[in-house]
Structure formats: C-alpha cells, structure tokens
C-alpha cells in the first residue's frame, strides 16, 4: 500500500466506499468512541469539518472499541449518538479494530507508516494513562480514542497527533491550514 487511497472501507451504514473518492482532499482520520472522556472532541471535529470543507477538507471517523470498551454500540447506535449529541455530518465508517492482532489493514498501514504521534505541548497523555494502569504494548499502536492522522491531498500521511491534541489545538489547526495551501 502506498497511500490511503488504496483502501476500501464500509461506511457506518454499510455502503462500500473507496477512500480514493477523497483524492485531492486533506483528510483527518480519527478513531472515535462515544463513551470516552475525549468524546466531546466530536464537536471540535465537526466544527473543523464545517470550517474547512469548502477547501476540500474532510474528517473521517472510525469507531473502535479497543480502549476500555468505550465504543460498545452498533454502527446504527453510534451514528444516532453522533448526530443527536454532536450534529456530526462528516463521513463516519463502520466500527473497526485499530490495534492488536485483528487490526484493520488501514490502521496497520497508518501506524506502520507514521509510528509516532506528536504530543500536546507540556502534556504527555501516555504518562496520564500509565497513571491509570493503562499501557500500550507496542510503541506504534494507537494510544487511545481520538488519535488523529493528517493526510495530504496526495494520500500520504503528513502527521499523527496524540489523542489529547484537540481539534482546536493551534498545532493541529496550523498543520491543517498548511496542508490546505
């Protein structure tokens, strides 16, 4: 695999979607969950999508349940939750596995291509999780819900951001705006 465009995924309502349909757009790929302390990031993701959509930007949400069971819902329940609570209109995909032995090939590609996430200044989220007894086995693994991959118009990964780098964080906004130029 040479870019994100080589993958085909199922949308949250079960329709096959080639990621090549997003060619030429800047993408923010995010593993999401409905019962996480970071779930309010849905609001910021939707706000970023609304702000930059006209410049060929999209957020792609991938629900995952690998982190303390914080995404137990069905695809239909997840979609209803996102719409009702956060007005989500950006593309959402079916629930997938983002780490471990059954890791989806898309996330295997993402984590192997960009093994390290940029951290929020002055705040090491991995250390916070360790304080709760949560440790990741492999350094390349997705750390937690709401980890983000910024993809350029060419389908290549520009950067990976830690889960606590919120959609309105200046570091992420600067990276998005730079990619859109």
| Mean pLDDT, residues 158-175 | 97
Annotation marks residue 82 as catalytic:
no
- Can you give the pLDDT at residue 149? 98
- Residue 121: pLDDT band (50, 70, 90) is confident
Which position has the higher pLDDT, 121 or 157?
Answer: 157
Strand partners, 8: 18
> Is the predicted pLDDT of residue 1 greater than 90, yes or no?
no
Quote helix, strand, coil % in the chain, to nearest 5: 35, 20, 50
Which position has the higher pLDDT, 150 or 120?
Answer: 150
Q: How far apart are CA 108 and CA 129, in angstroms?
A: 22
- Can you give the pLDDT at residue 123? 87
- Residue 2: pLDDT band (50, 70, 90) is confident
| Mean pLDDT, residues 124-131 | 92
User: Tokens for 93?
Assistant: 């995909």
User: pTM of the prediction?
Assistant: 0.96
Residues contacting 30, CB < 8 A, separation 6+: 41, 45, 59, 60, 61, 62, 146, 147, 148, 149
Instruction: Please pick, among 1, 3, 6, 36, the residue that the annotation labels catalytic.
Output: 36
- How many domains are contained in the chain? 1
> Is the predicted pLDDT of residue 28 greater than 80, yes or no?
yes
- Can you give the pLDDT at residue 122? 86
Q: How far apart are CA 9 and CA 141, in angstroms?
A: 20
23 vs 82, 154, 175, 181, CA distance in Å?
A: 25, 7, 19, 16
Kindly give the interhelix angle for 170-180 and 41-52, rounded to the nearest 10 degrees. 30
How, if at all, do strands 157-161 and 57-63 pair? unpaired
The CATH number that applies at residue 99 is 3.40.30.10
> Is the predicted pLDDT of residue 7 greater than 70, yes or no?
yes
How does the average pLDDT of the chain come out, rounded?
Answer: 95
Which position has the higher pLDDT, 92 or 124?
Answer: 92
> Is the predicted pLDDT of residue 35 greater than 80, yes or no?
yes
Residues contacting 52, CB < 8 A, separation 6+: 26, 176, 180
> Is the predicted pLDDT of residue 5 greater than 90, yes or no?
yes
Q: Decide: residue 180, CB within 10 A, 0-12 exposed, 13-18 middle, 19+ buried.
A: middle
DSSP state of 120: P
For residue 111, the SS3 value is helix
What is the residue range of 77's domain? 4-180
- Can you give the pLDDT at residue 99? 95
């Amino acid at each position: 695999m040479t870019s994100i465009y080589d993958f085909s995924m199922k949308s949250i309502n079960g329709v096959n979607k080639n990621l090549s349909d997003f060619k030429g757009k800047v993408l923010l790929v995010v593993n999401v969950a409905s019962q996480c302390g970071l779930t309010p990031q849905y609001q910021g993701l939707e706000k970023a999508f609304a702000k930059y959509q006209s410049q060929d930007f999209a957020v792609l949400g991938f629900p995952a349940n690998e982190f303390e069971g914080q995404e137990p819902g069905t695809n239909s329940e997840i979609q209803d939750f996102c719409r009702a609570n956060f007005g989500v209109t950006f593309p959402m995909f079916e629930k997938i596995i983002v780490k471990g032995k059954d890791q989806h090939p898309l996330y295997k590609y993402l984590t192997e291509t960009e093994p390290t996430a940029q951290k929020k200044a002055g705040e090491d989220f991995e250390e916070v999780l360790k304080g709760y007894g949560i440790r990741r086995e492999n350094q390349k693994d997705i750390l937690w819900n709401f980890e983000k991959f910024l993809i350029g118009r060419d389908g290549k990964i520009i950067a990976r951001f830690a889960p606590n780098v919120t959609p309105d964080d200046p570091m992420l906004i600067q990276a998005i705006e730079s990619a859109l130029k």
